[in-house]
């Protein structure tokens, strides 16, 4: 199991030469995707390529139910893009690929790589179905968020190692969604709130839910809030470990199943002791929740500073749930 990480340089997919025409955006622009040819575009990437560079208003890309086996990159000069699945559930529309970081690089392995700000994903699945048990341990990202002010609502994030990366100090709000993986499957140096989410450790030998690399100057990393944590193993899953020495994670008012290690749910990483990181709990319940010297708890007064609004406000007062 690796104890260090290298984040690859940004990958930009050029549009020139692809024979695609950018669609001028208006406040209500919608582009349509269906693999069966019943929409304007057959692939998600083709629709993204049609979004004009420097777009200043929301473009919604609707995706007909089905499986889209491709890699998607939303470059930094295409903000305000929404990917919306049209199926009856998030499971009905799946963007999936099978690429490990061992051959493609960290961000190159991501099925969907968002470099642009103001991304919104809704009612669909992001998946990387690389099987580390069968093919060898490797990072294999389902989604990499590098753009600030991202929102994910009613999505599924499926992978093994490193399912979701939030990097470039980006902020993300994730709600009513499902996230699964094996090792460090929520990680990065960004700030994110996971509200009313289901988080599942699928490896029978356990693993680590989070690996935060929060900058020491930032008070906020990841907040798991009013969510449910379950898993395949009993008493083997860690809430997290510090990829960076100042990693910050708070788990509050959530239901923790018996998958969580009762005696010590935090552990060391890359020479960084968990005690030196900023790991907190507050009013959690369930078989995996308890209070002891290895489980730092916020006081009521401290908890007032560890809310979704505090995590996401930044300097611009962003309030995606407002």
Is the predicted pLDDT of residue 24 greater than 70, yes or no? no
What is the structure's pLDDT at 185? Answer: 98
Q: How confident is the model at residue 38 (pLDDT cuts 50, 70, 90)?
A: very high
Write down the catalytic residue from 77, 129, 184, 300.
184
DSSP string across 276-297: GSEEEEES-BSTT----TTS-B
d(CA 53, CA 176): 31
d(CA 47, CA 31): 7
DSSP states of 201-250: E--TT--EEEEE---TT-S--EEEES-EEEESSSS-BEEEEESSTT-EEE
Catalytic residue flag (residue 316): no
List 282's β-bridge partners, or say none.
Answer: 252
Task: Please name each of the domains of the chain with its CATH number.
Answer: 81-311 (2.160.20.10)
**207, 153, 150, 17 alpha-carbon torsion, rounded to 10°:** 100
Q: What is the mean pLDDT of the chain?
A: 93
* Per-residue pLDDT reduced to its tens digit, 153-165: 999 999 999 999 9
Strands 191-195 and 222-225: parallel
Catalytic site residue from 162, 268, 300, 316: 162
Does residue 226 have a pLDDT over 70? yes
For residue 129, indicate whether it is catalytic: no
Q: What's the pLDDT at 1?
A: 38
State the pLDDT confidence band at 28, using cuts at 50, 70 and 90: low
What's the pLDDT score for residue 11?
34
Calpha distance 277→139 (Å, rounded): 23
Q: pLDDT > 90: what percent of the chain?
A: 91
Which tokens belong to 30? 């919608």
Dihedral sign for Cα atoms in the order 143, 227, 286, 223? positive
Query: Is 90 exceeded by the pLDDT of residue 12?
Result: no
Nearest to 214 by CA among 260, 269, 261: 269
pLDDT digit string (tens) for 259-306? 999 999 999 999 999 999 999 999 999 999 999 999 999 999 999 999
């Amino acid at each position: 199991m690796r104890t260090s990480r290298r984040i690859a340089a940004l990958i930009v997919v050029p549009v020139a030469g692809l024979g695609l025409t950018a669609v001028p955006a208006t406040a209500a622009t919608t582009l349509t995707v269906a693999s069966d040819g019943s929409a304007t575009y057959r692939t998600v990437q083709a629709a993204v390529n049609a979004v004009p560079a420097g777009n200043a208003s929301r473009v919604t890309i609707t995706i007909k139910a089905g499986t889209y086996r491709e890699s998607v990159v939303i470059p930094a000069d295409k903000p305000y893009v929404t990917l919306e699945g049209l199926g009856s559930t998030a499971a009905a529309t799946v963007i999936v690929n099978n690429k490990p970081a061992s051959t493609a690089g960290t961000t190159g392995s991501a099925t969907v790589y968002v470099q642009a700000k103001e991304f919104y994903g809704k009612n669909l699945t992001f998946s990387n179905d690389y099987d580390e048990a069968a093919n060898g341990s490797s990072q294999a990202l389902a989604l990499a968020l590098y753009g600030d002010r991202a929102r994910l609502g009613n999505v599924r994030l499926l992978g093994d190692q490193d399912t979701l990366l939030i990097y470039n100090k980006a902020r993300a709000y994730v709600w009513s969604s499902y996230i699964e993986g094996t090792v460090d499957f929520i990680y990065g140096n960004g700030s994110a709130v996971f509200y009313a989410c289901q988080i599942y450790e699928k490896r029978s030998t356990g693993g680590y839910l989070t690996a935060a690399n929060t900058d020491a100057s930032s008070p906020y990393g990841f907040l798991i809030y009013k969510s449910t944590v379950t898993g395949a193993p009993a008493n083997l899953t860690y809430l997290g470990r510090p990829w960076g020495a100042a990693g910050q994670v708070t788990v509050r008012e959530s239901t923790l199943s018996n998958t969580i290690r009762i005696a010590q749910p935090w552990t060391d990483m890359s020479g960084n002791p968990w005690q030196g990181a900023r790991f907190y709990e507050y009013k959690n319940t369930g078989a995996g929740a308890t209070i002891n010297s290895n489980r730092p708890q916020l006081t009521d007064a401290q908890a007032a500073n560890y809310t979704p609004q505090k995590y996401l406000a930044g300097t611009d007062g962003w309030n995606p749930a407002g």
